[in-house]
C-alpha cells in the first residue's frame, strides 16, 4: 500500500471512527464538531467595490462573451429565478454545439472551495473565469483582443472605468476576470442548517436531525464537512469499489502524476437537492442514486432505502433560501 493511498484513506477512516463515538452528545453538539456556518463574506471580498461587483454581475449575463453571442456564464451556471447555479445537464453544451467533458458545478459558494473546477486546475475564481471564454467546447472566443473588442462595442467602457478608476485602459481580460470573481464572491447561500448551527435548534425538524446523524454515522462526513460540506479536498472516485468511468482521470490530467488518477474535488452539498445530476460526469440522475453510489464506491457500504431517504431528508436543510436581485441592467438573456 503506497504512502499516497494511505494519506487519502487514513483521514477517511479517522472521521468514520470519530463519527461513531458521539452517542452521549446532543445532535447539535455533534454537528458543531464537523460543520460550521457559512461566512457572511468570502475571503478576498474586502476590496470588492459596489462598482466592481455590479460590473461582474453584468458580465455574468453577457452573451457577447461567447463566439456567436449565444451564451453567457449564466447559461451553464444558471441564476435565473433564484436558480441553483447549474444547467441540470450531464455535461454542458457549448456555444458551437460541442458537449463538454464534465458536469457544470454550481457557482454558489464556489469561492469558498480550495480550488476551482473538478480537477482543481484554477486556484482562484479570477483564474477560473478565463478558462471558459477560450475553451472551444464552451464560449469559444478566439483571442483576448476579440473579447476586448466585444466589450467596447457593447458600451462597457464606462462600467470598467468606474470599477477600475486608476486604469487608463481598463477593459482587459485580467479586469474582466476580477470583476466576474467579485460578483461570484457575493454568491453565498443561506439555509436552515446554518440557522441550526448558529443556535436555533428548531430550525430543522426531528426527521432532518435523524438524517443528519445517519449522514455522520455512516461516514459521509469524512469528506463532506466544514462550512460548505465539501469542497476542501480531492478524493479518489472509487476509493473502495472502482468507479465505472475510467475515461476521465481527473486531477491526473492536470498534474500528469499517475497517483492523481481518478481524483476529483469533493463537491459541496449546500443546496444539493437542486443541482442534479450528480458527480463529475453527471452519471447519477437522482439524489438517491448519488447517495447509494457514494456509499458503495467511497465508503464500501450498501445503504438501505431507509438510510438513503433519511440522508435525503437531512439534505432538505441545505436548500438555498437566498434571492439574487436582478436589476434592469442585469436582466438575463432569454433562452
The CATH number of residue 199's host domain is 1.10.760.10
Tell me if 77 is assigned to a ligand binding site: yes
- Among candidate residues 138, 208, 292, 307, the one labeled active-site is 138
- Res. 7: pLDDT tops 60: no
Q: Are 213 and 78 in the same domain?
A: no
Residue 333 maps to a domain: no
Give me the domain span that covers residue 283.
3-34+191-318
Tell me if 73 is assigned to a ligand binding site: yes
The whole-model pTM stands at 0.91
- The answer to whether 11 and 222 have CB atoms below 8 angstroms apart is yes
Residue 323 maps to a domain: no
Taking each helix axis from N to C end, the angle separating 144-153 and 173-184, rounded to the nearest 10 degrees, works out to: 70
327 — pLDDT class (breaks 50, 70, 90) = low
Percent of the chain with pLDDT over 70: 90
Look at 50-64, 176-190, 264-278, 319-333 and tell me which has the smallest mean pLDDT: 319-333
Tell me if 223 is assigned to a ligand binding site: yes
Which residue has better confidence, 330 or 249? 249
Report the distance separating Cα 155 and Cα 222, nearest Å: 49
223 — pLDDT class (breaks 50, 70, 90) = very high
Residue 334 maps to a domain: no
- Which residues does 11 contact at the CB level (< 8 Å), separation at least 6? 222
Report the distance separating Cα 105 and Cα 295, nearest Å: 21
Which pLDDT does position 82 carry in this prediction?
Answer: 79
Which residue has better confidence, 325 or 261? 261
Residue 65 maps to a domain: yes
Q: Are 217 and 310 in the same domain?
A: yes
Q: Are 118 and 236 in the same domain?
A: no
Domain boundary among 135, 160, 188: 188
Residues 180-217 pLDDT 10s: 999 999 999 999 999 999 999 999 999 999 999 999 99
DSSP state of 249: -
> Per the structure, how many domains does the chain have?
2
Strand partners, 234: 265
Look at 13-17, 127-131, 281-285, 311-315 and tell me which has the smallest mean pLDDT: 13-17
Which pLDDT does position 325 carry in this prediction?
Answer: 79
* 95 class by beta-carbon count within 10 Å (0-12 exposed, 13-18 middle, 19+ buried): buried
Q: Is 138 a catalytic residue?
A: yes
- Res. 131: pLDDT tops 90: yes
Distances (CA, A) of 191 to 161, 188, 261, 266: 36, 10, 35, 20
Tell me if 224 is assigned to a ligand binding site: yes
Amino acid at each position: 500500500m503506497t504512502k499516497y493511498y494511505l494519506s487519502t484513506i487514513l483521514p477517511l477512516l479517522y472521521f468514520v471512527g470519530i463519527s461513531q463515538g458521539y452517542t452521549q452528545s446532543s445532535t447539535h453538539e455533534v454537528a458543531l464538531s464537523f460543520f460550521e456556518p457559512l461566512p457572511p463574506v468570502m475571503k478576498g471580498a474586502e476590496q470588492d467595490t459596489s462598482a466592481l461587483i455590479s460590473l461582474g454581475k453584468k458580465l455574468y449575463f453577457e452573451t457577447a462573451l461567447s463566439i456567436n453571442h449565444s451564451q453567457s456564464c449564466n447559461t451553464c451556471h444558471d441564476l435565473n429565478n433564484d436558480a441553483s447555479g447549474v444547467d441540470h445537464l450531464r455535461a454542458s453544451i457549448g456555444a458551437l454545439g460541442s458537449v463538454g467533458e464534465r458536469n457544470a458545478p454550481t457557482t454558489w459558494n464556489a469561492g469558498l472551495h480550495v480550488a476551482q473546477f473538478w480537477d482543481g486546475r484554477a486556484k482562484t475564481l479570477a483564474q477560473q473565469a478565463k478558462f471558459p471564454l477560450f475553451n472551444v467546447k464552451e464560449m469559444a472566443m478566439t483571442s483576448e483582443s476579440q473579447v476586448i473588442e466585444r466589450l467596447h462595442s457593447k458600451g462597457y467602457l464606462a462600467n470598467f472605468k468606474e470599477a477600475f478608476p486608476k486604469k487608463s485602459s481598463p477593459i482587459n481580460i485580467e479586469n474582466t476576470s476580477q470583476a466576474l470573481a467579485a460578483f461570484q464572491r457575493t454568491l453565498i447561500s443561506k439555509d436552515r442548517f446554518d440557522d441550526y448551527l448558529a443556535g436555533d435548534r428548531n430550525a430543522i425538524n426531528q426527521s432532518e436531525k435523524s438524517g443528519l446523524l445517519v449522514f455522520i454515522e455512516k461516514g459521509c462526513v469524512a469528506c463532506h464537512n466544514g462550512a460548505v460540506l465539501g469542497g476542501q479536498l480531492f478524493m479518489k472516485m472509487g476509493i473502495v469499489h472502482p468507479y465505472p468511468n475510467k475515461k476521465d482521470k481527473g486531477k491526473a490530467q492536470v498534474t500528469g502524476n499517475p497517483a492523481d488518477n481518478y481524483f476529483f474535488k469533493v463537491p459541496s452539498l449546500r443546496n444539493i437537492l437542486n443541482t442534479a445530476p450528480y458527480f463529475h460526469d453527471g452519471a447519477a440522475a437522482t439524489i438517491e442514486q448519488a447517495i447509494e453510489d457514494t456509499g458503495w464506491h467511497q465508503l464500501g457500504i450498501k445503504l438501505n432505502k431507509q438510510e438513503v431517504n433519511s440522508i435525503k431528508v437531512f439534505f432538505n436543510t441545505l436548500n438555498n433560501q437566498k434571492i439574487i436581485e436582478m436589476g434592469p441592467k442585469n436582466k438575463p438573456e432569454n433562452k
